[in-house]
Structures are given as C-alpha cells and as structure tokens.
Structure 1
Amino acid sequence: MDFTLSARSEDLRRRIREFVDGELIPLESEGASYDEHDNIRPVLLRQMQSRARDHGLWSLQMPRERGGQGLSMAEMAACYEEMNRAIFGPVVFNSAAPDDGNMMVLNKVATAAQKERWLQPIIDGTVRSSFAMTEPAPGSGSDPGMTRTTAVRQGDHWIVNGHKHFITGAGVAAHFILMARTSDDARKGLTAFLFHRDDPGWEIVRRIPIMGPEEHGGHCELRFSDMRIPDENRLMGVGDGLKLTQIRLGPARLTHCMRWLGLAKRSLEIASTYVAERESFGMRLADREGVQWLLGEAAMAIQVGRLLTMHAAWKLDQGDYARREVSMAKVAVADTLHKAVDTAIQLCGARGYSRDTPLEWIYRYARQARLVDGASEVHKMVLSRTLMHDGVDFWRWG
C-alpha cells in the first residue's frame, strides 16, 4: 500500500478541512443551530449543503457523471475523516448514513431505470433514504437470515407484510430499500425491494426514543400490511437479498469507521487545547506524565484505527469483499471512538461534561458505534470462525 494521497484527493481533503474549520465548527456553539433531536436544524442544513455544493465538495462517493467526485474507498477514507471533525459534517456533504450506503449499493446493483428514479434524487439531495432490514425479536438483527417480513408474489406485484424497527432516517426518508423473505431457502430466501414513502400499505408506528443525538429522521418502527410493490421495483434477482446486504454493509461499515475517526480526532483536539492552557498546582496539565499517557494512548489507538480502515478501504478498491478487514476496523474504531472521547472528557473535567464543548454530544453518539451495523461481539465471532478455518493464513499477505 502507498499511503500518499493523489494530488486531487489531497486537494479535496484540504478544502474539506478548511470548510469544516471555517463554516461548520463555529455552528456547534450556537444553540440555534440544533433541532429538537440534537442535529443540525433543517433550514440551516440546506444552507450549508448549498455552500458545500458551491465549493465542489458534494457527494464525493458518487461518479462524476452523476454529480459526485468519483472517489475511491481509500480516497474517501481521508476525506470522510476530515468531514466528521465537525459533528454536522457528513450530512452537509451528503455523505451521512444511511444515504451514503444506500447510494453506493444502488450505484452498484440498480438498473439504469432504477438509478434514474431512485438513486439520482438522493445524490441531488432532493430526497433522503432509508434501509429497512432490522426487526423486533425474533426477527433479524445482526443476522439478516432471521428476517420474518414476507413478500409474496402475485402476478407482477409483491405483497409485503411484516414489522421493522430501528430503521434509521425513516421519519424523513422518501426512498426506501426493504429486505423481505421470499422463500425459506437459507441462502437465497431474501429479496430487496424499493418503495416510496407515499406508497400505501405501510406506516411509521413510532419514532423510537434513543440516547441520542439522532440522525435526521430518527430510528423508527415500521409496519407493513398487504403493501403492494411492483416487480420492477425489485433490486437484483429474486433471492439475491442476502448478497445485496453483503454488498451494501461492508462499505457502509467502513465509512462509519472513517467518520468515527474524525470524531475521535476532534475529541483529542479539544482536550489537547485545554490541557495546554489549564494549570493546576503550579503546572500545566499537558506537562503532567499521567495526562501525557492518556493522550498518547488515545492518539496511538486512533492511528491504529486509521491503518485498519485504510487497509480495508484499499482491499475494497482491489475488488475484495474485505470481510475480515472491515470487521476488524469496525470493532477497533468503535472502541477507539469511545476511548478518545472518554479521555477527552476526563481531561477537560467539568467543562468536558458540560455542553460548552461538543464532547458530551460525541460521547452519547459514540455509544451506538459498538452496536450499529453488527454488534462488536458478532464481528469478533465472525473473525474467530475465519481464524479457525484459515489457521495461520488468517494473517496472510495480499
């Protein structure tokens, strides 16, 4: 691997940093910047998105011919990290979950007609999207194979019945990707469908309260009752739903890591500035060995996470699924984000625990990292299975 960024991606990374520092971080200290769910206020979001578009920093992950910048996964790693040094960053650049993962999978697997109808409006920022897979127990969670929502074919339509919950962004989404069971086959039993929020036969039961802060549209509980979806809105082949989830979730998990590393770095930036100025018992906090150890350990963990993330991104760029690499990055970076912000709050003391800095926002957000897109324990289980199968070749080169 060559860690040198191309001239173009380095230019984008630098311009993103300037935009984040000049336009977004100042908003965090203004109470009027936030909506009732601790995210950026919708009117302000639209203003900032327009400015990001004007600066040529819009939809970096999408092809140029569709209005994006056509970055590789490795190039995205550097740029996404810069974006999320600001808590509002990803959504301003149209690179936030779940839109980010939905755009990438639709760009890979949708037909030309489906891309025009379902993908392009998400890229343009005229609609938001959602990925409806997770269900209440005993339905699917980290294991998509436990999906109980059904789709039964009737002529050129599918009749959908079922129950989903913790569906991110559903409260404001217009375009949805839905996972449903179409047979009892263990590997080919799931199929993916597209539907619009105005289609009849489904409802949002509630917006589930969470520790927060929340993404726009929250995390919702949905119910489907004899919903009719035309076969033309089926993604990939009948029974290819599990394959679609694998195509989507690997890159989506890794872009989470990229963004989380930005939040981890920002946490240490805040702590480093504070301990460099704060004096106690005749000495700056930064000159105390115990403080140096805490900062050093957190900084080292961030760098380990960056290397794991970049390696996984590089493998994805080579056409590999990079399942081991993505799982390792996801577990390590989720832990690192919590370690970094927890360290920063400890070093900043009461100020860190207050809302005078974004650290408490990041801390609440960080706790979900070990749960979303597969709990850490599930990823470790998968890694263990791979180790038992591959033996010493688990650590093979290439």
Structure 2
Amino acid sequence: MVDFTLSPAHEEIRRRTRDFVEAHVLPVEADRANWDEHDNIADGPLTLLRDKARGSGLFSPQVPREMGGMGLSVVGRAVMYEEANRSIFGPVVFNCAAPDDGNMDVLARIATPDQQVRWLAPIVEGRARSAFVMTEPHPGGGSDPGMIRTTATRDGDIWRIHGRKWFITGAAAADHFILIARTDPNPDERRRHLTAFLFHRDQPGWQILRRIPIMGPEEHGGHCELAFDGLEIPDSARLMGVGEGLKVTQIRLGTARLTHCMRWLGLAKRAMSEAQSYIARREGFGVRLADRESVRLLLGGVALNIQIGRLLTMNAAWALDQGSFARKEVSMAKIHVADTLHQAADMAIQLNGARGYSRDTVLEWIYRYARQARLVDGASEVHRMVLADAYGREGDAFWSWGA
C-alpha cells in the first residue's frame, strides 16, 4: 500500500522544526550583522541558536538516541531537513548541515565504539566540526574513486600519508577528518585499493595550502586544498578494514547525496515563498503581477517540479530505510532536485526584478548556492550514467515498485 501520510511523530518533528525556524532562525538571518565574511551565520549567533535547538530536542537528528542524537530514520530526516532549510542558516543550527551530517551518519553506522567516543561524540555535541577528504586535483580522483592517488603506506601500526586533496568542504574549520587514501599500489586494482582513516587537525604532516575562492556562499571552513607530507595515522584510527575505503564512501555518500536534496527542497520552497510574497503586492500597468497569466504559469511549473522532487526524495528515503543502497532512486532525486533548486531561484529573481538580484533579499544567496548543486557529490552527468547502467541491467524491472 502506498501511503504518503506522515506518522504522528514525523508530523510533530515537522511542526516543531518549522516553528523553531520561524521564531528563532529567520529573525537572525534577517539581520546582516549576524552574518560572517563568507555569507554564513557568524559563530556568536550560531552558538546561541544551537543552544536553543539543543534545549528544544532538535539537534543532531541523524544520530541514534543512545549516541546523543534524535535517532530519526531517513524518512524522518527528509521531513525535518526540508523545514530546516526554510532558512539558509537552518541546517547548521540543527547540526544537520554538510559535511558534518554525512560524517556523523557514517561514523554512527560503521565506527568502532572507541572511535565513536573519540571522533563522533564531539561532532554530535557540537563541540567539533568535520570534513570528508576524498576529492583530488587532476589527475587524481574526483567522481571516479579509482583514480585516487593519495597514498597510505603501512609501517607496523602506523600509516604514512602522502598526496594532495582539494575542494574539501569545511576543512579550514574542521577538527576531525575522514580521509580516503590508496593502500594498494596496483593501478589496475579499482575495488579494494582504498582505505579510510581518521585524523585530527593538530596532527603534524599535513597542511591547508589555500581556501579556494568560489562563486557561492560557503559552508563554515570553506573549500580547501590540502597537502599531505608524511602525516602519521595509527592503525587504530583506520575506519573499517584495509581495502574497504570504497565501501565507506558508498555507505556515506548514498544517504549524504539524498540529504542534500532534502535541504535543497527547503531552499526551493523558500525561493517560491519570496516570489509569491512580492508578486502579491507588486503592480505594473494597473495589474498585480500575481494576476498575470505568464507569472502564474512560471509559479505553477516550479511548484510542480518541487513536488516531483519531494516524491523522488521520499521514495529514495524509504528505500534507504528498507536497507537498499537505493543507487538509482538517489540519483534520480539528485538530478531532479538540483535542477529544480536552480529553476526556483532563477524564477524568483526574475519575478522580483532588480530587488531579487540585489542583497535586499536572500534570493541572490540561494542562486549562487544553487549552481553547485549539479556538481557536488557527483555531477548530474555521472548520475545519469548510473541510471543508464541500471536500465541496461534491469530493463522493464527498472520501473518496478518497491525497494
């Protein structure tokens, strides 16, 4: 039976999140004095809001209750994250912004109990930030992890890391890092050639070369280029087995890609709200913009695509909750929601005119942010290849109902 009714528990989370954003987060966002130089919320206001969110029981939703989180299922996260991103600052307030969100999720699922105490708990509590260190400059690995060139060489109980990484989100503010490196030197080995490791920012043998300038607003800690020149990591800080780094990335990135979609839907709905509010009162040539057929067609088209994105996202969330990797479901959501976010921001700016292009509204922020959506966690073209491969294998079964 297909049922899109939210459970009472999920509806309560949705309402509480919406009310919190309305009462506490949007007023802080509206005052530019609360922004930092990178167009994110400054640390002072963030700390105050996080304390309120924690006190309201709306903090670290992706982590099981016994580890200090809310213990939400993937479907529950979809409900909450969409409401959280009614404000551009919402996800980081609730401790469900990338990259911490995906890092907490994977550490909660696969780290050893000792590793969870050392590496996970401080992130869950909001005392530390984290980064996921995988992407490399050419000719290293990007969407194809088989090309990763950063090496981890074993010497007894120590691994020594050499190589370069870049576009590492949050690195400049991170305390804890998950690193993916090559441990099998055989260039023809592309399945068990990678291993995942944990390290702290204070360990010697690595450095941030630069914070890479980007066109959009930045997460806390920016997008950085890193160099490793003999970083020593004890084997006790290895995540899963030797040669299981690709498995770690698959476990992390499947859900992380979908949580991007959850948040982006909230931003797309915010753009719609900004557009609707303005056209309802703006007149031109004696007619309200809201009464013009051309404007109504624009709004209707975006509303349609947002709802399609919500259904694709919920379908993928449900599949993940059933234990499926949901590769094609996540890829479909990722492609569609990334396109829809850009469409919604562009439409809202167009209807607001020069006001939308200015910093008098949040729309230009959303527009700049939206362009990365078709690139992060796999470019849209890569996800279309995933779908083509799935159809090639499955044929008509590609459209079967169920996980």
Alignment TM-score > 0.5, same fold: yes
For residues 137 and 247 of structure 1, the distance between their equivalents in structure 2, rounded to whole angstroms, comes to 25
Partner in structure 1 of residue 40 of structure 2: 39
CA drift of 1:29 comes to 2.4
For residues 28 and 79 of structure 1, the distance between their equivalents in structure 2, rounded to whole angstroms, comes to 19
Letter in 1 for 2:308: V
Q: Tell me, what secondary structure is at the counterpart of 1:23? A: helix
Letter in 1 for 2:397: D
Partner in structure 1 of residue 113 of structure 2: 112
- How far does the alpha carbon of each residue in 1:228-254 deviate from its partner, in whole angstroms, 9 at most, with x for none? 110000000000000110000000000
- Of residues 356, 361, 369, the one that matches 1:357 is 361
- Checking the alignment, whether the CA contact within 8 Å between 2:162 and 2:230 is kept in structure 1 is yes
For residues 156 and 79 of structure 1, the distance between their equivalents in structure 2, rounded to whole angstroms, comes to 42
CA drift of 1:226 comes to 1.1
- Of residues 334, 339, 349, the one that matches 2:338 is 334
- How far does the alpha carbon of each residue in 1:355-390 deviate from its partner, in whole angstroms, 9 at most, with x for none? 111000000000000000000011111111111121
Partner in structure 1 of residue 143 of structure 2: 142
Letter in 1 for 2:350: Q
CA drift of 1:131 comes to 0.2
2:289 is the alignment partner of 1:285: yes
Letter in 1 for 2:92: V
Letter in 2 for 1:27: V
CA drift of 1:68 comes to 1.2
Q: Tell me, what secondary structure is at the counterpart of 1:220? A: strand
Letter in 2 for 1:191: T
- Of residues 379, 396, 400, the one that matches 1:396 is 400
For residues 280 and 22 of structure 1, the distance between their equivalents in structure 2, rounded to whole angstroms, comes to 33
Letter in 2 for 1:77: A
2:154 is the alignment partner of 1:153: yes
What does residue range 23-102 of structure 1 map to in structure 2 within 5 Å? 23-102=24-103
2:389 is the alignment partner of 1:385: yes
- Of residues 231, 237, 241, the one that matches 2:235 is 231
- Of residues 271, 274, 278, the one that matches 1:274 is 278
- Checking the alignment, whether the CA contact within 8 Å between 1:37 and 1:212 is kept in structure 2 is no
2:378 is the alignment partner of 1:374: yes
What does residue range 145-224 of structure 1 map to in structure 2 within 5 Å? 145-183=146-184, 184=186, 185-224=189-228
For residues 68 and 6 of structure 2, the distance between their equivalents in structure 1, rounded to whole angstroms, comes to 22
For residues 267 and 134 of structure 1, the distance between their equivalents in structure 2, rounded to whole angstroms, comes to 31
For residues 10 and 401 of structure 2, the distance between their equivalents in structure 1, rounded to whole angstroms, comes to 27
- How far does the alpha carbon of each residue in 1:165-192 deviate from its partner, in whole angstroms, 9 at most, with x for none? 0000000100000000000322100000
- Checking the alignment, whether the CA contact within 8 Å between 2:153 and 2:159 is kept in structure 1 is yes
Q: Tell me, what secondary structure is at the counterpart of 2:339? A: helix
For residues 31 and 83 of structure 1, the distance between their equivalents in structure 2, rounded to whole angstroms, comes to 19
- Checking the alignment, whether the CA contact within 8 Å between 1:324 and 1:383 is kept in structure 2 is yes
- Checking the alignment, whether the CA contact within 8 Å between 1:5 and 1:75 is kept in structure 2 is no
- Checking the alignment, whether the CA contact within 8 Å between 2:211 and 2:225 is kept in structure 1 is yes
Aligned residues: 398
For residues 247 and 294 of structure 2, the distance between their equivalents in structure 1, rounded to whole angstroms, comes to 49
For residues 30 and 359 of structure 2, the distance between their equivalents in structure 1, rounded to whole angstroms, comes to 9
Identity of aligned residues (%): 66
Unmatched segments (≥5 aa) in structure 2: none
| TM-score after normalising by structure 1 | 0.99
Partner in structure 2 of residue 7 of structure 1: 8
CA drift of 1:350 comes to 1.0
Runs of 4+ aligned residues of structure 1 deviating over 6 Å after TM superposition are none
CA drift of 1:312 comes to 0.1
Letter in 1 for 2:195: T
For residues 264 and 143 of structure 2, the distance between their equivalents in structure 1, rounded to whole angstroms, comes to 20
For residues 171 and 220 of structure 1, the distance between their equivalents in structure 2, rounded to whole angstroms, comes to 7
- How far does the alpha carbon of each residue in 1:316-367 deviate from its partner, in whole angstroms, 9 at most, with x for none? 0000000000000000000000001100000111111111110000000000
Letter in 2 for 1:286: A
| TM-score after normalising by structure 2 | 0.98
